[in-house]
A = this chain, B = another copy of it.
């Protein structure tokens, strides 16, 4: 019997602009008597990172372009939110069924450029994705490692829909200290037959595992620790490795 543990921190307070996420995590660990171990992966919901970093837009200050207004009418959305979605995107990848799928400025393809109205505490405000989620993860990782002297990894998670399948799952938008991909090419199977094309999206699997704990309807558990997973430490990791290059994508 082998075991992996998914540990959810239940005492992270409601996060506000300017809060130090690393400090909030260290406090919660203390309060809840959880000691970090070498190899732990800390997964943090994007929403609290965005709020701490002030990635919040007041809809009352948004100037709506004619194009955003036209799309908003067609999709029956708030034109100010559509304007923010467009501003956060490189391009529109798909539109229809009430959805706008965009490529964000980071290169992620997701619904609404990751712009989110929930969990902000004010219907006139929305959160956007952190400007540089890898950097956000890296800063949090450094601070926690310095204070605890434990070798850990950090992943910023988001909740995303996907083509072909119903429902949202977790995905990684920022990573630090962990190679988001686990390359098994060249490994052997059970009978010594060489595997040909298996690269595992480890950081996305970790994000989905964390989502089992985080839930979605509220943010009461925005920080999760996963203990017992093998991964390759990478000091220059980036979640951008998880983005399928456009020219290789059969569905884009």
Contact = CB atoms under 8 A, between A and B. Distances in A.
Interface of A: 1-10, 14, 32-34, 94-97, 99, 101, 109, 117-123, 159, 162-171, 181-182, 184, 187-191, 193, 195, 198-202, 204-206, 208-209, 211-213, 215-221, 226, 228-229, 241-244, 248-252
B229 A166 contact: no
Contact of A244 (B163, B169, B208, B215): B163
B190 A94 contact: no
Contact of A251 (B123, B163, B182): B163
B6 A4 contact: yes
A43 to B, nearest CB: 12
6 contacts: A4-B212, A165-B201, A166-B201, A166-B243, A187-B217, A212-B229
B119 A189 contact: yes
Given A165-B171, A204-B167, A190 B221 contact: no
A170 B167 CA distance: 14
B8 A1 contact: yes
Contact of A189 (B1, B109, B118, B163): B118
Contacts of A10: 1-2
Contacts of A118: 189-190, 193, 195
Contacts of A201: 165-169
Given A188-B218, A195-B217, A166 B244 contact: yes
Given A94-B251, A249-B163, A218 B200 contact: no
